[in-house]
Amino acid sequence: MNGCIEFVLNGVTRRLPPGTPPGQTLLEWLRGPEAGLTGTKEGCAEGDCGACTVVAEEPDGRRVPLNACLALLGQMHGRSLRTVEGLRGPGGAPHPVQRAMAEADATQCGFCTPGIVMSAWAHAREGGSVHEALAGNLCRCTGYRPILDAFSRLEDDAAPAPPPAALAGGHFSGTGQEFHLPADLPSLLALRATLPDAWLLAGGTDLGLRVSEHREKPPAILCLSAVPELQHLEAGPEGLRIGAGVTYGRLLPALEGDFAPMAALLRRLGSRQIRGMGTLGGNLGTASPIGDALPPLLALGARIVLASAARGKRVVGADAFFTGYRQTLLAPDEVIIRIDLPRPPQNSVFVCEKLSKRHDQDISTVSATFLLRLEGGRIAEARLAFGGMAATPARAAAAEAALTGAPLAEASFATAVEALARDFTPLSDWRGSAEYRAAGAAGLLRRLYWRAAHPELAMEVHAL
C-alpha cells in the first residue's frame, strides 16, 4: 500500500501528498512550488560546492549537514531537517550565525552564503576543525578569511531538536517509481529477493549523482537507512563491527586510537556533508577502484557479512569480494549487512595514504594502505593494498613477498618497489597517467620505510 512521505521541516511536520515523486532530489523538492524554499541553492549538483547544504537534526541532538542535491526525497521520511529559512533569532530577527556572517563582511554575491550559514550552524554544535567544517563549502568571491572570522564568533544556540516524525519504514510511489524503505532486516531481504534489479540506496553520495546529474529515474529504489541491524556499530577488543548503513560521520569517533590513520584518511573523503550521508557499505557496494575506504579493508583483512532471504548469512574476506571493475560477488538477492574490521596487531605499522589533486574533498588518483608487522627488526608480515592501480582495489602480492622476512632497511623497500612494477599495470585517465600512478605508488612505498623506521619525522608539508 502506498504511503505518504512525512518529515519535520524547520520545526513543522510536513506530510507530502500521495504520488509525490520519491526519487527526486531533496533540493528539487525544496526549490519547487510545494516548498518554495529557494534559499537552498543548486551549484554543482555533485555534492562539491555546498550551496545546497541543509542540516538534519538528529534525535540525540547532533546536527548533521547534508547535500540536498544528492539526497533523495524518500530518504527524508521520518527525519527532521532545517534549511536556511528555518533559522530565526528572537522575535524573528536574524539568527546569531547570520548576524556573525554579516558583521564579518563574510558575504558578497550571497549565492554560497545560505549553505555556509547552515554548515556554520551545525559546526557551532558539533565543534571540531573549522577547516573540516568549511571543506565542503565553496566561496569564490569573498575569500575565506572573513568567513573564518565569522566562524570564530560562533556559539551553540542550544536550541533543542524538534521531535522527529517518529515513523519507521514506508513505501512511496510516484511518476512511475517505487521507493521502498523497509524497517527491519527480514523485510529488506524479502524485498531484495523480489526486486533484484532495484537500486540499493545507502547514503546516495554515488547513486545520487545519477539522479542529480544524469536525471535517471530508476523504476524501483530499495533504501537501507531505516533498517536497525544496518545501523549497529560496536567496538570490541578484536576490532569493530560496522553496520553497512553506518555513516562515516558516525564511524569516525570509533576509529580514533588503533585506527587513527584510517580516521585521518576518511576525513579527506568528501566533506562533512558527504560523510553525513555516505556509508562504508555503500563504498563497498559500488566497488569503485578508487574508493578511499577500500584499501584499509584489504590491508586489515576485513570480513564482510552478506545476507539473503533464501540462504541466510555468509562471511567473505575483503580480498575475495571484488571480482572486476565495479563488480562484486554479491548475489542479486543479497545485501551487505556488516563489516568486521580487525584491529592492527601489536608491534605493527599501519599507514593510510592518498594522492589527489586537492588535499580535501577530492577523488583519489592513487590510494594505499600499508600494514607491517615487525619482529626483532625484521618485517614478519607485509600487507600492501592499493586503489587506483587496477580495475579493483587490490593487494600488491609481489611487493609483499619482497618485504616479508626482510630487515627494516631502506634497501628492502627499494627491492619491494622493483617488485611493485610486476603487481600492477595502471591505466591513464584524466586524473593521472599510468606513469604518474606507477611513480606515485612507488614513492608511497619508499616513504613507508621512513614512516616505519623514523616515525618522528614529518612526512607531509602540512605536518611541518
Q: Averaged over 321-325, what is the pLDDT?
A: 93
Return the pLDDT at 456.
87
pLDDT band at 185 (very low <50, low <70, confident <90, very high): very high
170-228 adopts what CATH topology? 3.30.43
Query: What burial letters (b/e) apply to 271-284, b meaning 16+ CB within 10 Å?
Result: bbbbbbbbbbbbbb
| pLDDT for position 2 | 62
Average per-residue pLDDT in the chain? 94
Query: Which amino acid belongs to residue 209?
Result: L
Question: Which whole-number Å values give the CA distances from 147 to 104, 154, 221, in the listed order?
Answer: 7, 11, 39
Where exactly are the structural domains of the chain?
6-152, 170-228, 349-464
Q: Is the pLDDT of residue 1 over 60?
A: no
CA 422, chain centre distance (Å)? 32
Q: What is the pLDDT of residues 48-102, one digit of tens each?
A: 999 999 999 999 999 999 999 999 999 999 999 999 999 988 888 999 999 999 9
Distance CA 371, CA 453 (A): 14
Mean pLDDT of 186-192: 97
CA distance linking residue 147 with residue 162, whole number of Å:
28
Checking if the pLDDT of 275 tops 60, the result is yes
Grid look-up 565543534 returns 127
Quickly tell me which residue has 544524469 as its cell. Answer: 214
Q: Does the pLDDT of residue 350 top 60, yes or no?
A: yes
Q: Which residues contact 66 (CB under 8 A, 6 or more apart)?
A: 26, 53, 54, 55, 56, 273, 276, 277
Q: Cα–Cα distance between 172 and 21 in angstroms, integer?
A: 8
Helix axes 113-126, 144-152, angle to 10 degrees: 40
| Residue 440 buriedness (CB in 10 A; 0-12 / 13-18 / 19+) | buried
Contact 382, 423 (CB under 8 A): no
Residue type, 11: G
Angle formed by the axes of helices 434-453 and 410-423, to 10°?
150
Question: What pTM, to 2 d.p., does this model score?
Answer: 0.94
Tell me which of 169 and 265 has the higher pLDDT.
265
Check if the beta carbon of residue 92 is closer than 8 Å to that of residue 77. Answer: no
Higher pLDDT, 3 or 407: 407
Classified by CATH at the fold level, domain 349-464 comes out as Enolase-like; domain 1 (3.30.390)
Instruction: Tell me the three-class secondary structure of the chain, residue by residue.
Output: CCCCCEEEECCEEEECCCCCCCCCEHHHHHHCCCCCCCCCCCCCCCCCCCCCEEEEECCCCCEEEEECCCCEHHHHCCCEEECHHHCCCHHHCCCHHHHHHHHCCCCCCCCCHHHHHHHHHHHHHHCCCHHHHHCCCCCCCCCHHHHHHHHHCCCCCCCCCCCCCCCCCEEEEECCEEEEECCCHHHHHHHHHHCCCCEEECCCCCHHHHHHCCCCCCCEEEECCCCHHHHCEEEECCEEEEECCCEHHHHHHHHCCCCHHHHHHHCCCCCHHHHCCCEHHHHHHHCCCCCCCHHHHHHHCCEEEEEECCCEEEEEEHHHHEEECCEECCCCCCEEEEEEEECCCCCEEEEEEEECCCCCCCCCCEEEEEEEEEECCEEEEEEEEEECCCCCCEECHHHHHHHCCCECCHHHHHHHHHHHHHHCCCCCECCECHHHHHHHHHHHHHHHHHHHHCCCCCCCHHHC
Q: Which CATH number describes the domain made up of 6-152? A: 3.10.20.30
| Beta carbons of 121 and 55 less than 8 angstroms apart | yes
Query: How many Å apart are CA 300 and CA 297, to the nearest integer?
Result: 5
Q: Does residue 295 have a pLDDT over 60?
A: yes
Q: How sure is the predictor about 463, in pLDDT bands with cuts at 50, 70 and 90?
A: low
Average pLDDT over residues 238-252: 97
Task: Tell me the per-residue pLDDT of 111-127, one tens digit each, with 9 for 90 and over.
Answer: 999 999 999 999 999 99
Provide, rounded to the nearest whole percent, the portion of the chain with pLDDT above 70: 98
